[in-house]
Structure formats: C-alpha cells, structure tokens
Amino acid sequence: MLYHLFDWLKDQGVKFPGSELYRFISFRVLLAVLLSLFITLIYGRRLIRFLQRKQVGESVRDLGLAGEQMKKGTPTMGGIIIILGIIIPTLLLARLDTVYIILMLISTVWLGIIGFVDDYLKLRSKRIAQQQGAAYKKSDKDGLAGWFKILGQVGLGITVGSVLYFNSNVKIWREYQGIPKGNDTTIITKTVNNRAKHFVETKEPITTIPFVKNHEFNYTKLLPAAL
C-alpha cells in the first residue's frame, strides 16, 4: 500500500524524504520483518492475555505421552497472531499488483478461516459441555470434519496451481542470446552492471530464491520423471 502511495505521489510531483527507499525490496522486507516482530510481540501478548481472561484455553487429550499436559490451558485461536503478523506488513509494504502477493494473501486467509472455524467449533463444544455440567473431553469430532479440512487444502492447491499455470502475468525474463532484430517488440534491453543486455519474456516453471544470487528452482524437479 505504501509502495503504491509513494509511487502515486511521485507521479503527482510530490516527494518525501526517504520515499525512494520504498522502491527497494530489501528495504521493504526489513521494515516488514520489524513490523511483524512488533505485532507478534506487543499485540500478540495482549491477545493471549485477552483469550486467557475469556478462558479460551486448549484442551488436551490424555494419550499417555510425555509432556502432553504442558499444552493444557494454552489459548486457542492463537494463530490469529501469526495471520496478523503476515497480512498487515504485506498490505502495507508489498506490491499489491503482483499475482504472487495476491495468491499469498488468499492462501493465508483461506487456511486461516479453516483453522478459525475448527477452533471455534471445538470451543463451542467445550462451552456446551460446561453449561451441561459434563466433563469435557477433547475429540476430533468437535471441530471441522477431516474430509472438510482436506477438501479445503486440496481446493486451495488447485486454485494456486491453476492461477500459476494459466495467468498471463506469471512470467520470467530470460537473457536473449544473440543480436535482436530491430523490429522485435518481444525483446527489451536493460542495463546490468553498466552493460546493455537483452531479455525476452517467457513462461516457464521456474522461480528464484530471494536474496540468493544466480539461484533458480525449477518446479519440474518435483514431478515424476515420466511427466
């Protein structure tokens, strides 16, 4: 959001000291990490105390495992802290016009909703048992059905995979070897290390690992050799 705001202000002829720093992804990543840390440490602690006051605690099944009771009383729905620590810095500091950021936000919210509903149903079952004066014992049946969770995860995987495969904005730039023709509009020229290099836009199952120079990962390595 701030990236687009400063970009728009620049087009309007308005500049703020340090606003050009937002054009560098390394600067925005650093701010995002610090903001996420602040949210999880400061507001996360307040949220945990709020959930503890509301007695929104985790129930543990007695499976005879060592240390399993240590989780008892841990506030449930604590995943909200993680979700806020991801979404808020992303909305403020990321480029919201990229398909990868949009997919990441959709995936986070999608899985967050599944987790929230699952915790809510378990919490409701616990409160109903307490109102009836019965001893509550945690059961898998109290939350979302297992098939529903799997369906949600598979549906998300299909959605993400389909967008990455069919979306025209999912492309990479490859260096063009040779001398481009003068009327070839598919090739652009960029200055890299004070040298003019030619690039062509192509659609391949390849991504790069951030902040690692000359390191690419090809998704086809995850597929069976027959494919």
DSSP string over 39-78: IIIIIHHHHHHHHHHTT-B--------TTGGGGTTPBTTT
Considering 146, 166, 186, which residue would you say is the last residue of a domain? 166
Indicate the pLDDT class of residue 74, thresholds 50, 70 and 90: low
Secondary structure (3-state) at 12: coil
Q: Are residues 158 and 214 in the same domain?
A: no
Decide if 227 is inside a domain: no
Range of the domain at 207: 172-222
Q: Are residues 155 and 187 in the same domain?
A: no
Q: Are residues 119 and 48 in the same domain?
A: yes
Residue 151's Cβ-side half-sphere holds a number of Cα atoms within 13 Å equal to: 5
Report yes or no: 200 and 186 within 8 Å, Cβ to Cβ: yes
Number of domains into which the chain is organized: 2
Q: Are residues 51 and 142 in the same domain?
A: yes
What is the pLDDT averaged over residues 126-138? 67
Structure tokens that stand for 12 in this block = 């309007």
Q: Is the pLDDT of residue 86 over 90?
A: yes
> Does the reported pTM lie above 0.75?
no
Q: Are residues 92 and 182 in the same domain?
A: no
Q: Are residues 32 and 106 in the same domain?
A: yes
Q: Is the pLDDT of residue 87 over 90?
A: yes
Secondary structure (3-state) at 191: strand
Considering 143, 166, 189, which residue would you say is the last residue of a domain? 166
In angstroms, the CA 132 to CA 108 distance is: 36
Q: Are residues 78 and 140 in the same domain?
A: yes
Given this model, what pLDDT does residue 104 score?
A: 94
Q: Are residues 19 and 75 in the same domain?
A: yes
Maximum CA extent, the chain: 82
Name which of 72-76, 129-133, 205-209 the model is least confident about.
72-76
Q: Are residues 157 and 191 in the same domain?
A: no
Report yes or no: 77 and 116 within 8 Å, Cβ to Cβ: yes
Q: Are residues 129 and 196 in the same domain?
A: no
Residue matched to tokens 């979306």 = 167
Q: Are residues 189 and 152 in the same domain?
A: no
